[in-house]
Amino acid sequence: MAASLEQSGVPTVAVHTQVFARLAKSAALANGMPRMRQAFVPQPVVDRTPDQLRTYIEGIDPISKRPFVQEVIEGLTKPLQQEDLKGVSFERSTPRLLKPDSEENLHRLFVENHWTDFLPITLPTEKRVAEMLKGTSHAPDKIVGQLRPTYFREFWELTVEKVAVNAVMAGARPEYLPVILALAASGITARSSSTTSFATISVINGPIRNELGMNSGIGVMGPYNHANAAIGRAYALLSQNLQGGSVPGETYMGSQGNWYAYSATFAEAEERSPWEPLHVQKGFEPTDSAASVFFGGWYTHAGYGPRATWQDKVRRCLSAAEHYSPPFLVLDPIAARGFVELGFDKKEKLIEWCAKNALLPAREYWDNQHIQTLIHPLAVAGVEPYATRLKAKPDELIEIFEAKQINIVVAGGETQGAWKMISGDLRATVSIDAWR
């Protein structure tokens, strides 16, 4: 926004908290305006009292070590120098191949450049990448799509070959490539730079699950299957490398990080589910293969049953769910069949029940940091259902999720009637067959 204002002829100073200094600098460079005027205050601003914030304004900029207001005023009034006037234009090409080196040195280079997840990788030699490319009919130079770490960063472009390179690094097999390409083509990064530490969780549906021997049974969400593990890892590695990085402090700002970010992909147990598969709910045919990408991973609740008190338990989980990140439920087939016995003969009926029972007092809902930041402006602008929620009295119970935001997947080995409620906004369900 600051760059746009400058382009409109308005001298502008952008104020950030100090932890964003490196990121602000690199974003300004990517905007072609590396000398954009910035001023910094201590972290955090959230939850600070007015008195505390006043000390920020009257205090020292923690980056420049000069008075904060002096930075701001000089940023608007100090005459520009020649370098300010021209901006910086440059090409940032990345080579197809790296300079040849020993295996040991190349492994060190990949780690030092933040191109790995710090677990051992398979080096993407020309031969291995060529072998990987046999997994798709698409040309190596075909553009798959584009990715970026977050809204205000620039998109980077990715080709079939670049996706294959990262698939090799993750230890994937050529036959997995259509699934990995589909995930890359979704346009959703598995390496969001959000301070809130989002991750993606991907669900695979259709015949390709069995063709690849994917796991939808015992240990479905754990490290017990090569295809599940390698596809999830490939999606993570390609996201960080093809979007321009996921480097802490620069292109990654997740305060606590997220375990799901290592690898989180699994198959739905369609054959053992009493309900319609996820991809069919989203408009695909049962014979199609598709990948669904959930963006979340903030929380995971767990339960068993459904037992006599299941409604109380599920209500508590729903109200405890972070309000900005809707839930998807992963039900073991035993638990799914238990809900069918209770009359939920379609996923939609259980989803509807969840939406009606995800209740919270209005004051608690609106006090949530993310709701306040991201939803409140929409409510004020009259966007529904947020505007109606905003009209509720403070102690009035309001529904915090819409049915269309909640999803159900059936997976598990039937060793236990377990279920999980996981933070995940379904951002896309994309064709895998298109990438065969």
Which residues within the stretch 220-259 sit at the binding site for another protein (CB under 8 A)?
237, 241-244
CB of 122 to another protein, least distance (A): 10
Toward another protein, which CB reaches closer, 58 or 312?
58
Type of residue at 242: L
CB of 36 to another protein, least distance (A): 7
Q: What is the CA radius of gyration of the chain?
A: 24
Torsions phi, psi for 154 (to 5 deg): -85, 150
Of 19, 22, 25, 35, the one binding another protein by CB under 8 A: 35
Q: Segment 157-196, which members bind another protein (CB under 8 A)?
A: 157-159, 161-162, 165-166, 169
Residues 6+ apart with CB under 8 A from 272: 216, 333, 410, 414
CA–CA distance, 384 with 254 (Å, rounded to integer): 30
Q: Segment 15-34, which members bind another protein (CB under 8 A)?
A: 15-17, 20, 23-24, 27, 29-33
CB of 333 to another protein, least distance (A): 39
Contacts 24+ apart (CB under 8 A), 152-156: 152/27, 153/27, 153/30, 153/193, 153/243, 153/244, 153/251, 154/30, 154/31, 154/244, 155/243, 156/242, 156/243, 156/244
Q: Which two tokens stand for residue 337?
A: 């069949």
Query: If you write DSSP's letter for every residue of 374-409 in order, what string do you get?
Result: IIHHHHHTT-TTHHHHHHS-TTSEEE-S-GGG-EEE
Toward another protein, which CB reaches closer, 58 or 271?
58
- Binding marks (x or -) toward another protein, 347..386, rule CB under 8 A? ----------------------x--xxx-xxx--x-----
Toward another protein, which CB reaches closer, 128 or 349?
128
Q: Segment 275-334, which members bind another protein (CB under 8 A)?
A: none
DSSP-derived letter for residue 319 is: H
CB of 387 to another protein, least distance (A): 14
CB of 106 to another protein, least distance (A): 6
Q: Segment 97-156, which members bind another protein (CB under 8 A)?
A: 97-98, 100-104, 106, 110, 115, 123-126, 129, 147, 151-152, 154-156
Residues 6+ apart with CB under 8 A from 225: 213, 214, 215, 219
The reply to whether 59 sits near another protein by the rule CB under 8 A is no
Contact 426, 283 (CB under 8 A): no
Of 66, 70, 96, 312, the one binding another protein by CB under 8 A: 96
Toward another protein, which CB reaches closer, 39 or 269?
39
